[in-house]
């Protein structure tokens, strides 16, 4: 496991009064659980928080999520897959994320654009430039103000996830290894993911630790940029 990296203490300037947080990483890292805990913690701190997941969180998005993840769906090429993810993401941005940020809310999402760069681009074989261009069009250039990557090695992830639960988790270990490499390349700004493809603050956290330790690190990172709570 590489050393944990920390996002810049001053996030990039953003053209909205809210704050946009994304939790990312390989399956098995505990993103969904930790996102829910983060939302609860921020609300306890008195912040107005909107929780969402990508794909999904809109009527259109949930229908597209069924298509892209359901084992019973017709076979999807990686190219078709990325367009479905982008369509769901475009609806999520227009219907939920941008209006919430404009209203000064904190938005916490379980996955966002980085997942497509890694799953369909780095691991799936699509040109990263193509995925990045599609992402900019789908989101109108919106990126999270802070992305937390919950990193977990393949063996630990396999033990946690067990048998695959959807089309993506059914893919072989060779694909899952590339997924983890892709996330770590983004965090290290090296390897196959150029900074321009995901020009947003990123921090990588060791998700092998117990859930409380991981959440403490999340609170430290988020508290530091939002100016709330104890910060290590």
List Cβ neighbours of 101 (8 Å cut-off, separation of 6 or more).
14, 16, 17, 18, 19, 20, 107
Asked if the structure places residue 232 within a domain, the reply is: no
pLDDT tens, position by position, 49-98: 999 999 999 999 999 999 988 877 668 899 999 999 999 999 999 999 99
Give a yes or no: residue 81 inside a domain: no
Is 133 a domain residue?
A: yes
Per the domain annotation, does 12 fall within a domain? Answer: no
The answer to whether the annotation marks 219 as part of a ligand binding site is no
Range(s) of the domain holding residue 200: 19-54+97-223
Predicted confidence at residue 155, as pLDDT, reads 83
In a domain, 78, yes or no: no
**pLDDT range class, residue 5, cuts 50, 70, 90:** low
Q: Does 163 belong to an annotated binding site?
A: no
In a domain, 73, yes or no: no
Q: Is 11 annotated as a binding residue?
A: no
Q: Is 28 annotated as a binding residue?
A: yes
Residue 18, CB-side half-sphere exposure with 13 Å CA sphere: 22
Total count of domains within the chain: 1
| pLDDT at residue 172, rounded to an integer | 84
Least confident stretch, 9-23, 30-44, 53-67, 124-138: 9-23
Question: What does residue 205 show for φ and ψ, rounded to 5 degrees?
Answer: -120, 145
**pLDDT for 94:** 98
What mean pLDDT value characterizes the chain?
Answer: 88
The residue-averaged pLDDT of 198-218 equals 93
Q: Does 99 carry a binding-site annotation?
A: no
User: Is residue 147 assigned to a domain?
Assistant: yes
Asked whether the predicted pLDDT for residue 191 surpasses 70, the reply is: no
25 labeled part of a ligand binding site:
yes
Confirm or deny that 31 is annotated as ligand binding.
yes
């Amino acid at each position: 496991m590489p050393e944990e990296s920390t996002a810049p203490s001053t996030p990039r300037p953003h053209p909205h009064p809210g704050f946009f947080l994304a939790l990312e990483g390989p399956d098995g890292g505990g993103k969904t659980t930790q996102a829910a805990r983060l939302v609860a913690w921020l609300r306890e701190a008195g912040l107005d928080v909107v929780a969402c997941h990508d794909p999904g969180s809109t009527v259109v998005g949930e229908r597209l999520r069924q298509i892209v993840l359901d084992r019973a769906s017709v076979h999807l090429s990686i190219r078709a897959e990325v367009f479905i993810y982008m369509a769901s993401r475009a609806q999520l941005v227009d219907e939920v994320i941008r209006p919430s940020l404009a209203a000064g809310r904190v938005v916490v999402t379980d996955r966002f654009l980085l997942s497509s760069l890694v799953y369909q681009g780095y691991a799936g074989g699509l040109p990263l430039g193509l995925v990045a261009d599609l992402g900019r069009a789908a989101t109108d250039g919106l990126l999270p103000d802070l992305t937390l990557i919950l990193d977990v090695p393949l063996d630990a992830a396999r033990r946690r996830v067990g048998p695959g639960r959807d089309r993506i988790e059914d893919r072989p270990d060779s694909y899952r290894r590339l997924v983890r490499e892709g996330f770590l390349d983004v965090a290290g700004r090296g390897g196959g993911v150029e900074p321009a493809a995901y020009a947003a603050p990123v921090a990588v956290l060791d998700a092998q630790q117990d859930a409380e330790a991981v959440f403490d690190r999340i609170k430290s990172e988020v508290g530091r940029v939002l100016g709330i709570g104890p910060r290590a």
